[in-house]
Amino acid sequence: MKIAVCMKQVPAESRGLMDEKTGVIMRAGLKPEVNCYDLSALEAALRIRESIPAEIHAFSMGPLQAADVLRTAFSMGADAGFLISDPAFSGADVLATSYTLYRAIETAGEYELILCGRQTTDGDTAQVSGALAQWFNIPHANWVSGIEKVTKMSVTVEQKTEYEQMRMQLPLPCLLSVARDEFLPRLPSLRLKMAAGKKSITSVGLNDLSDRDMSHYGLYGSATRVKKIYPPPRTQRRPLFSGTAEDCAEMILGAVRDEVTG
């Protein structure tokens, strides 16, 4: 089995600063670290490999220093690492990021399973995983709190929602975004950390992708611009909607419209 794990480098602390013109989060001068949720995704992959033979490939999209993310992935047990880096990719929103990941993962072959962390600590959208699954046209489940069984054809998972816990079986290939607490990441092993510095990382730039149209990537490929970053008001009420995909999309659109128009 081949498993792709998406891992991002994020600032160690958030100051909520953004470029007023482009809406891009300003990261210069901030210490970077691996997005903690993505460490859980890698942990999930490692646990799967403990039960069935699998190859784990880590993918990280970012500037050249994001290679550190892949070194961390190696020191935890990833078999290969891909650094998706190109000036054309910078400033990407969910749409452009997910599309870039899709095209980049494509260059490395086919994967039975793609794992993502629940969200990132900088963008916090928790939407890239779902968008990525859409590009691949594969089923996906978010907030996976347990992976019960993996076979050649399917994966059985647990998903915790607000009021209930669900058990689902998804056919492979599929994408899972995993919860953090249930997949507490292991600490890197000494032997693997020593070897990590010597492992090669595959670079993936715009010219390596099957679609080289720059307007599909980065700031130009983004459908959204960040207007403002601020902490959300605390609310106790967390309504849960259920329905068809079309019904849910209408409900979300309505909720966003209400929020914008007040």
Partner 1 sequence: MNKRRIFSMDESYAEYVRDESQFTGKAKSISFPRSEEEIRMILSELREQGTPVTVQGGKTGIVGSGVPLGGHLMNVADCNRVLRYSETDGNYLLTVEPGLRLTELKQELAKLHSPVRLFWPPEPTETSATVGGVAATAACGIGAYAYGDTKQYFEAARVILADGTVRELNRGERFLDVNGEHLDELDAFLGSEGMLGIFSALTLRLIPCPTEQWGIAFFFENRRDAWKFADELQSNPVRSETAEVIAAEYIDGESIWLIEDKKELLSKLGNIPPIDPVFDAMIYLEIAGEESGIESAAEILMERAMHCGSDPDRAWAVSGEKEIEALRTFRHAIPETINLVIEENHRNHPEITKISTDISFPGKMFSQVMSWYEKYLDGVKPAHCIFGHIGDNHVHCNLFVKDAVEQKQCAEWMSWILREALDFGGCIARENGIGKVKRDWFPDYDTAVVRMRTLKKIYDPKGFWNPGNMF
* Contact footprint for partner 1 (CB under 8 A): 12, 31, 33, 36, 75, 184-194, 197
Nearer to partner 1, 67 or 192 (CB): 192
Nearer to partner 1, 79 or 208 (CB): 79
Nearer to partner 1, 2 or 193 (CB): 193
Nearest approach, Cβ of residue 119 and partner 1 (Å): 17
Nearer to partner 1, 187 or 260 (CB): 187
Nearest approach, Cβ of residue 173 and partner 1 (Å): 29
Is 96 exposed, middle or buried (CB count within 10 Å of its CB: 0-12, 13-18, 19+)?
A: buried
Concatenated DSSP letters of 17-44: -B-TTT-PBP-TTSPEEE-HHHHHHHHH
Chain length of the chain: 262
Nearer to partner 1, 197 or 233 (CB): 197
Taking the alpha carbons at both ends of the chain, their separation in whole angstroms is 49
Backbone φ, ψ for residue 55 (5° rounding):
-110, 135
Q: What value does the CA radius of gyration of the chain take, rounded to a whole number of Å?
A: 18
Nearest approach, Cβ of residue 186 and partner 1 (Å): 5
Structure-block tokens of residue 79: 């078999």
Q: 146 in helix, strand or coil?
A: strand
Nearest approach, Cβ of residue 103 and partner 1 (Å): 31
Nearest approach, Cβ of residue 201 and partner 1 (Å): 16
Tell me if 159 sits within 8 A of 196, measured CB to CB.
no
